[in-house]
Chain A
Amino acid sequence: MAGPGLWFSLLLAAALAGRAAALWPWPQYIQTSESHYAIFPYNFQFRYHASSAAQPGCSVLDEAFQRYRDLLFSSSWWQPPERTRKQHAPEKSSLVILVSTPGCNELPSLESGENYTLTINDDHCFLLSETVWGALRGLETFSQLVWRSPEGTFFINKTEIEDFPRFPHRGLLLDTSRHYLPLTSILDTLDVMAYNKFNVFHWHLVDDSSFPYDSFTFPELTRKGSYDPATHIYTAQDVKEVIEYARLRGIRVLAEFDTPGHTLSWGPGAPGLLTPCYSGSHPTGTFGPVNPILNSTYEFMSAFFLEVSSVFPDFYLHLGGDEVDFTCWKSNPDIQSFMKKQGFGNDFKQLESFYVQTLLNIVSAYDKGYVVWQEVFDNKVKVRPDTIIQVWREETPVRYTKEMELITGAGFRALLSAPWYLNHIAYGPDWREVYMVEPLDFKGSPQQKALVIGGEACMWGEYVDSTNLAPRLWPRAGAVAERLWSSELVTSVDFAFKRLTRFRCELLRRGVQAQPLSVGYCEQEFEET
């Protein structure tokens, strides 16, 4: 063994000896030693360096300092240490943060740098980053490095970490349509995402089952399309709260409004929007996808997405475009004659493309970028070259690795989700398969590989609501988080198992209902409230 492999295994050995073994996800470069420093809750502070671009008043960091103080020391003594007892280890009384570029009030974006350097040695206890987002990642790492002796003293080992994410888009999808998730479930999930260095919350807001997004342009959508318009909705205030809560944790909110399929819940509140299905020459009273042949449809979409574009500040919107069922379109005589007029023949994919292209033009006009599910690519819809394609199907029409090859080969950016459908459960340690996925394991040039901007763990909601969301997500989604953050060399499942086991205990300590990986125990178990 030589080269990076050797270098890496040496690091593993060193790290396993020390407390750094609890780190999740594993940093890009780390050096630790056995020598350590004491930390005392009564006087420890996070401080801004005098030449930092971020200074007191920086909302993102001020709040993060408070958060990490609580996470580190919440359940511990705040009294000064007894003077009589001799401390062998030197003390660190602050972590000094230096952010080199300003930007405390902005939103994280796909381009945001998240790199940081953490130095804990005799001279320094220092966190350096380009952006506040990098500082957030560094604070999380710092919090994972601090450990506690059996006597209750906090320590941190001498450590040098240089860290940055492998992929810029590390997402988690929640589905609030199949089951409504209370705001607290969403906010709690954002907290745990930050612990895992996820940075995109893909919010699959609406679908066939319900329309909980409270639109101010079209209030009837929620009034008629939500499970319960009094309780099972997200108001404008709720959405703002989610976005700000996410921002403070360096997480983008990527809203998905999936069309033209998966839209049954839109129908009751938007008469004329969905395609009436026919049986012979009579409408059956049931409805299919969005009706793509009416001008009124596009007027509606223009107004609706104008609202959405302003409510969700992220540059990207997710426009869905998956699983369009053609049977209803086929049954409808008006659609048949439209198809004939357009020269589409019997190719309903062309009709779908027609719809999607018109929609994309609308959204582009609002200065938004977009993400779509892979069918949009599979069905050869003409899309802007900067479109992001999300791969979700494991085997059809081709295996997902082939799909990644095709998409990047066509020059589009790709997001991988196919092997990361966490709603699919099985007996045993299924996080291993999730972990062993290599997103760039497909045939393609370096240019193609560079087009893979990341991936997402998906938690679809058919069988998931607030009763089982947290244990089903954590720590399984952690496996995806490390795959997307850490170096491609970090592939040892055994090493991951050890760290993830400890990390899940740390999650329990932080109050997260994370389920066990195997037999065993945590010092602090989850207690029902």
Chain B
Amino acid sequence: MEHRGLGLLALLAALAPCCCAAPGPTLWPMPLSVKTSPRLLVLSRENFSIYHDPSSTAGPSCSLLQEAFRRYYDYIFDFNKSRLNPAKHNSAAELKQLLVSVVLESECDLYPSITSDESYTLAVEGPVAFLKANRVWGVLRGLETFSQLIYQDSYGTFTVNESNIIDSPRFPHRGILIDTARHFLPIKTILKTLDAMAFNKFNVLHWHIVDDQSFPYQSVAFPELSNKGSYSLSHVYTPNDVRTVIEYARLRGIRVIPEFDSPGHTQSWGKGQKNLLTPCYNGPKQSGTFGPINPILNSTYCFLSQFFKEVSTMFPDQFVHLGGDEVEFTCWESNPEVIAFMKKAGFGRDFQRLQSFYIQKLLGIVSTLNKGAIVWQEVFDDHAKLNPGTVVQVWKNEMYHVTQAAVTAAGFPVILSAPWYLDWISYGQDWRNYYKVDPLDFDGSQEQKKLVIGGEACLWGEYVDATNLTPRLWPRASAVGERLWSQQNIKDIEDAYDRLTIHRCRMTRRGIAAEPLFTGYCNF
């Protein structure tokens, strides 16, 4: 009743029902350079340890690394098949230790940033393997890779091939967008997502924290925003929750970029902040409904200054996402005071200029707070004057190559999301489409291409909450993860299928309910 239309794929899978080929290492995302030898080393839970190399600039006082060592020790030994280690059945040499060395100042207590060095080298030889990185961020990536190298042979012995790996990411900004406004996501779900992100070497959590539907961010300066604007008083992120997320992310080398989208997408702000939104008119009378933020009042900018001052201290990342997408002009058009303001300012009937007026003032506020800004592409499309360095996120699927070319030609950095809206689901293996995208596939000079700092997989929340987030995100987002980390020439999709199938099993073993790519099973 079902196979029709699946064709060859189905047939192949049917003929070879075993999803899990001969045991061996399976890396995802693929590193820059991998050399593996057929020489095997064995490890045991009892004898193996991960520790600091004496030459390292980081030591036991670096809790970020201490925690990572423990985490990855557990991933290697506890989350694999729990078979008893048999007596050594072969004469393979033993790997007893992984020594980790940070070469430059470790940055152990800092937050990761857009310029963080994530490169590392990994030399696996008996009896001691070496992981070397300039900063702790590279160590985190290298530990993930090391854990992926280890597998259990058919006797259950933990095994690793002697290998040499040199690795660094293709793009510095590799993000996942979650939306906690359409549906509230419990902290546990967010932390789990951060775990899975680390397994896929993602390094940015783009937290679309508020929107029309709800305002779960509990502001210290403006507590009424969430008191009145959240779904309920238990659907709120307290400052403590936010700090928990940021620290959990930091320990995994992940930046947290909050998005407070304005002037549109702000219905929920209006409930707790009087006079912030534009009153809509029906003829000469107010209709009782509200539109985008009111851009003509001083009080608006007063509020925004205070609010973003808080945001910029609450969220340590260098960047704040200011939104700026999908501003609906009908309410502004209906409002006589807005019209009068437009006339005075000489905007005529061009509401894009009003929007730009607003955005430019907001960008000014944010830059005085020493923060960089990320905006959705409309802000650029509508010709707002942007400070150099303002990052433009391209999300509209239509002709996104053209947008990329235009934004980079104007000299602004770009984050690509258009082909990676994972909330758009369909039947079958849509991860292949995500995988096939190349973010630099647009007409432009070398300089322009350099302005593409990365991309983000977006999981908007209209139809997503804690019940279905994880299987909807993983392993589909993993396709984006490899595209953003690995080199351009890593694009053999059948090889990707084989690796990703095993990688998703690894994720499920580590407690992430990643959905299957196709018929088969996980061998554990």
**Complex CA distance for A523 and B423, rounded to whole angstroms:** 24
* B182 and A471 within 8 A (CB): no
Q: Which residue of B lies closest to A512 (CB)?
A: B467
B192 within 8 A of A: yes
For chain B, the bracket of interface size reads 35 or more
B465-486 vs A, CB cutoff 8 Å, 1 = contact: the mask equals 1111011100000000000000
B344 within 8 A of A: no
A436-470 vs B, CB cutoff 8 Å, 1 = contact: the mask equals 00000000000000000000001011111111101
Q: Which residues of A contact B508 (CB under 8 A)?
A: 467
B47 within 8 A of A: no
**Complex CA distance for A458 and B1, rounded to whole angstroms:** 10
B232 within 8 A of A: yes
Name the contact of B519 in the complex, choosing from A178, A262, A517 (C-beta under 8 A): A178
**Complex CA distance for A179 and B214, rounded to whole angstroms:** 38
* B1 and A322 within 8 A (CB): yes
Interface 9-mer from A12-20, A118-126, A419-427, A484-492: A419-427
Closest Cβ–Cβ distance, residue A499 to chain B (whole Å): 18
Q: Which residue of A lies closest to B423 (CB)?
A: A427
- Greatest chain A CB density within 10 A among B234, B462, B517, B521 is at B521
Q: Which residues of A contact B213 (CB under 8 A)?
A: 519-520
B464 within 8 A of A: yes
Q: Which residue of A lies closest to B213 (CB)?
A: A519
Name the contact of B462 in the complex, choosing from A373, A472, A508, A519 (C-beta under 8 A): A519
B192-236 vs A, CB cutoff 8 Å, 1 = contact: the mask equals 100000000000000000000110000000000000000110110
Q: Which residues of B contact A470 (CB under 8 A)?
A: 467
In B315-345, which residues have CB < 8 Å from any A CB?
none
A286 within 8 A of B: yes
Closest Cβ–Cβ distance, residue B447 to chain A (whole Å): 37
* A467 and B471 within 8 A (CB): yes
Assess A209 versus B462: contact at CB under 8 Å? Given A525-B186, A528-B189, A528-B192.
no
- Greatest chain A CB density within 10 A among B232, B471, B508 is at B471
B13 within 8 A of A: yes
A245 within 8 A of B: no
Q: Which residue of B lies closest to A462 (CB)?
A: B519
Q: Which residue of B lies closest to A262 (CB)?
A: B3
* B467 and A513 within 8 A (CB): yes
Interface 9-mer from B239-247, B303-311, B364-372, B425-433: B425-433
**Complex CA distance for A232 and B17, rounded to whole angstroms:** 13
* B468 and A462 within 8 A (CB): no
Q: Which residues of A contact B188 (CB under 8 A)?
A: 527-528
B84 within 8 A of A: no
Closest Cβ–Cβ distance, residue B95 to chain A (whole Å): 28
Q: Which residues of B contact A265 (CB under 8 A)?
A: 17
* B466 and A525 within 8 A (CB): yes
Q: Which residues of A contact B263 (CB under 8 A)?
A: none
Closest Cβ–Cβ distance, residue B501 to chain A (whole Å): 12
Apart from A427-B425, A468-B515, A528-B466: 8 A-B pairs, beta carbons within 8 A? A179-B521, A210-B17, A417-B1, A425-B426, A463-B518, A516-B463, A525-B235, A528-B189
- B residues neighboring A (CB under 8 Å): 1-4, 6, 10, 13-15, 17-18, 182-184, 186, 188-189, 192, 213-214, 231-232, 234-235, 423-428, 461-468, 470-472, 508, 513-521, 523
- A residues neighboring B (CB under 8 Å): 175, 178-180, 208-210, 227-228, 232, 262, 264-265, 286, 322-323, 373, 392, 417, 423-429, 458, 460-468, 470-472, 508, 513-521, 523, 525-528
